[in-house]
């Protein structure tokens, strides 16, 4: 399926085309919301709100090839909105880490380390390495400069290397701080 042509169809009123492109990206969008909110229900709410917002403003998207980047930006903004509204903090027992969330069981230690990063660094790492966006796409998605993306990636990699080195020396896995 060519996303760009489906976006054009959807912009001209083809509801099924919109459903098709959402189905293609919904797992990635949910994963992004989950990485920010760390809660299944809130993530589902953010996904639902993002899809609704995208449907209502699809006509404002000028370049159909940027649909995924546009959707990432919407899901990130909706997730942040929900996180801001959330008055209570999530207890560790309420957070159920899904092994299959990022896909590879063997790399659970890496995923736990990524979860420990501060949100700005965590987002650039996830967008770059789990969703394969390039520096320019990450910059557009987050609304920050490319140099800031590179800086955050550098700092995040450095932190991850330090965390993973320390966990290997102790022989114990990294545990998230929530």
User: What are the helix (H) ranges across the chain?
Assistant: 3-11, 15-37, 40-56, 67-85, 108-116, 119-125, 135-142, 146-170
Instruction: Give the 3-state secondary structure of residue 44.
Output: helix
What pLDDT is attached to residue 165?
84
Listed in sequence order, the residues at least 6 apart from 160 whose beta carbon sits closer than 8 Å to its beta carbon are: 110, 113, 114, 117, 125
Task: Give the relative orientation of helices 135-142 and 146-170 as an angle to the nearest 10 degrees.
Answer: 100
pLDDT of residue 77: 93
Number of CB atoms found within 10 A of residue 90's CB: 14
Measure the CA dihedral 45/50/52/54, to 10°: -170
Global pTM value: 0.69
Per-residue pLDDT at 87: 47
d(CA 144, CA 133): 14
pLDDT tens-digit profile of 39-89?
899 999 999 999 999 999 999 999 998 999 999 999 999 999 998 887 444
């Amino acid at each position: 399926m060519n996303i760009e042509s489906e976006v054009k169809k959807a912009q001209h009123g083809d509801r099924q085309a919109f459903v098709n492109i959402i189905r293609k990206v919904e797992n990635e969008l949910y994963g992004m919301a989950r990485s920010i909110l760390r809660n299944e229900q809130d993530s589902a709410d953010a996904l639902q709100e993002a899809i609704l917002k995208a449907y209502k403003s699809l006509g404002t998207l000028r370049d159909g090839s940027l649909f995924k980047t546009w959707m990432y930006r919407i899901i990130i903004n909706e997730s942040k909105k929900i996180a801001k509204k959330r008055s209570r903090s999530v207890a560790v027992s309420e957070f159920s880490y899904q092994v299959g969330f990022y896909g590879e069981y063997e790399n659970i230690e890496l995923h736990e380390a990524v979860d420990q990063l501060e949100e700005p660094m965590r987002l650039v790492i996830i967008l770059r390495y789990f969703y394969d966006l390039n520096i320019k796409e990450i910059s557009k998605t987050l609304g920050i400069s490319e140099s800031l993306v590179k800086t955050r990636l550098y700092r995040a990699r450095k932190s991850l290397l330090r965390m993973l080195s320390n966990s290997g020396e102790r022989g114990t896995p990294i545990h998230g701080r929530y």
